[in-house]
Amino acid sequence: MKNKKTLKDRIADLKLSLAVNKGAGGSVFKRMFFMIKRYLAIFAAALAVYLVLLIMLVEVEKRAAGSTIHDIGQAFWYSLVTLTTIGYGDFYPVTHTGRLIASVFVILGLGLLGFFVGFMMEFVSYVRPIMQLSLNTAKPWYIFTDQSNYSMIFAENLKAVRPDALIIYSGTNERGKDSKAISVQWSPTELLDRRGSLYDAHLMCMKTNEMENFLDAVKLSDTGVPIVCLANFTPSHHPMNINFFSLTDCTARIFWQMYPIKKKHETILLIGFGIAGTVLLDRALELNVMFNDQSIHYHVFGDSREYCMNRKRLSDIVSVNWLSDTQDSIMFHDTQWNSDEELLGEADRIILCSDSEQENIEILQTLQKFFSFKGEVYIYNSNVRSVATPFGQTRDVLTPAFVLHNSLTDMALCHHELVRFFSGGNIPLWEELNSQIKDMNYSATDHISLKVHILLGDKAPCMTFDDISSKILREASEVWNTANKEEKDNFSRLEHVRLMRFYLLHNYRYADKSDDDLRYNTLIKPFEELHDVERQIVDTSWMLLDELASHKAAKGR
């Protein structure tokens, strides 16, 4: 049997195929040349017909009695005033054949008018964007592969923080949708050729179909330009210049940073357990490590069979299907969400996280109509603003901070470099990491906002790490730096729990030597068994507070 190719091999084959067929579409100027050549051919044919008609008109009219057209000059003048619909009346045909030819001139005049209008419109459609692009080569270019709703929402949010950005929609002429952007029929590679420089150029694959985005991103990876790709999955091996993001993952990251747990014991209900609910619970387990001896009780209503089958070591992280008073617990309910009235009444928060907005609204209406509850209610992907707090709206997620990942990647890279330093450089470089280990570094960065809550308590703002000011970060960092040994051990213990949760959630096991391909890691052991270097590696996440503060201070934030 023939071995199946890995995704990494298939991407390599696709890139090779693209390299062989590169340039098949021709350049912008080639296409303009063919357009002009086509119109010239049509014009030459029309001119030949016109000359034949002039000669015929002179021949049939010059011998007729009372004729006013006797030579080619008079015939030309007559045709000119006829074609332009002026009609002075000083020359006119008197024969039946001449009048037939005259009617052809009238029809030809209308055709030529349409011909020139069409030519000018098509010519302007080529020249206008060329002029616009030529005048704006010094600006940052954001080239979208499609003018989808996602693209336009992100473009609007981008322009709010970066007004000088030039928004370009490739492969379309739908100018009416976004008056502040340039729409062209050219491919992204043709646009990059036109720009002449890759500096501050960005390719945005944000079509509605996520698989198309993935394929577009791989096709364009050889350009060397940073590529942002909207997709609900991140392959382990992919070209380094592609940055993947998903709406559901960004939503989950934002949610737990904006609405962190506030006490050791919370009861949280997740109703509707599709893609959004799955990612929301994963991020909760990875990020909600805030207190020693915390016992957060998660109650999940929805089909959880696949979730549990994929996460083989879930019971090593939390108590599964039994409630513990000393550690976090998850109860997977196989009953309807409204079957336990007492649980609804005592919940600290109720999260309506079905992938269907309509289903979430229907559940909310039922909840309000028939049940009493004291906890906060959150509703996913909806504009409902009654007793529920909406989250996950596309406009709030498709922002430069969460799509471009600038600060997130900077801090994740910083975290990885700190880990490399304390491990003696015995781990791979950032560009050699697979996407899962990068995600571990991203998770450490996301947890910065929750570390601020751990250190500052009620003084901490409820916002994402990217929005926290350098002043607040400095205050939190000062608490960490001045803590006594016992306090620092408690902080380190929390971070070790958080780190182990990430690895265990992805089915890692303990080994004397870490191996990410085999899913082995040396840190998966009791905190007391960590040696000094391993504790330093754990504490690198706390050092990010000061690093991020310096990063923001340099930008005046």
pLDDT (tens digit, 9 = 90+) per residue, 393-402? Answer: 999 999 998 8
Confidence of residue 423 (pLDDT cuts 50, 70, 90): confident
For residue 443, is pLDDT > 70? yes
Phi, psi of 300 (to 5 degrees): -110, 125
Pick from 231, 228, 201: nearest CA to 214: 231
Helix, strand or coil, per DSSP, at residue 34: helix
Q: Comparing 28-131 with 250-394, is the CATH topology the same?
A: no
Determine the length of the chain.
557
CATH code matching the domain that covers 136-245, chosen among 3.90.25, 3.40.50, 2.60.40, 2.60.120 = 3.40.50
| 3-state SS track over 50-96 | HHHHHHHHHHHHCCCCCCCCCCHHHHHHHHHHHHCCCCCCCCCCCCH
What number of other Cβ atoms are within 10 A of residue 305's Cβ?
A: 9
Strand partners, 196: none
Pick from 282, 250, 277, 259: nearest CA to 380: 277
Distance CA 413, CA 551 (A): 13
pTM: 0.78
Pick from 74, 94, 229, 52: nearest CA to 154: 229
User: 28-61 and 96-134 are packed helices; what angle lies between their axes, rounded to 10 degrees?
Assistant: 160
- Residues 270, 301 contacting (CB under 8 angstroms): yes
How far, CA to CA in Å, does 324 sit from each of 209, 223, 266, 319, 329?
A: 43, 53, 12, 7, 6
As a CATH number, domain 28-131 is: 1.10.287.70
207-225 burial string, b = 16+ CB within 10 Å, else e? beebeebbebbbbbbebeb
For residue 243, is pLDDT > 80? yes
For residue 46, is pLDDT > 50? yes
The pLDDT assigned to 104 comes to 79
The pLDDT assigned to 530 comes to 94
Which pLDDT tens digit goes with each residue over 275-292?
999 999 999 999 999 998
Confidence of residue 181 (pLDDT cuts 50, 70, 90): confident
The pLDDT assigned to 175 comes to 54
Phi, psi of 336 (to 5 degrees): -70, 150
Strand partners, 77: none
Tokens of 423: 């491990």
In 135-209, where does DSSP find H-type helix?
149-161, 188-195
pLDDT higher at 461 or 432? 461
Distance CA 59, CA 54 (A): 9
For residue 1, is pLDDT > 70? no
Element (H or E) spanning 390, and its range? strand 388-391
Map tokens 């002026």 to a residue: 86
- Residues 255, 376 contacting (CB under 8 angstroms): no
Q: Where are the domains of the chain?
A: 28-131, 136-245, 250-394, 400-554
Phi, psi of 161 (to 5 degrees): -105, -20
Q: Which CATH architecture has domain 250-394?
A: 3-Layer(aba) Sandwich (3.40)
For residue 552, is pLDDT > 90? no
Pick from 103, 97, 47: nearest CA to 78: 103
Q: Which amino acid is at 283?
A: R
Pick from 540, 260, 542, 513: nearest CA to 415: 540
Which pLDDT tens digit goes with each residue over 482-534?
999 999 999 999 999 999 999 999 999 999 998 888 999 999 999 999 999 99
Distance CA 139, CA 164 (A): 6
How far, CA to CA in Å, does 400 sit from each of 139, 141, 155, 160, 444?
A: 17, 14, 9, 10, 20
The pLDDT assigned to 91 comes to 77
Segment 227-233 mean pLDDT:
91
Which pLDDT tens digit goes with each residue over 332-378?
999 999 999 999 999 999 999 999 999 999 999 999 999 999 999 99
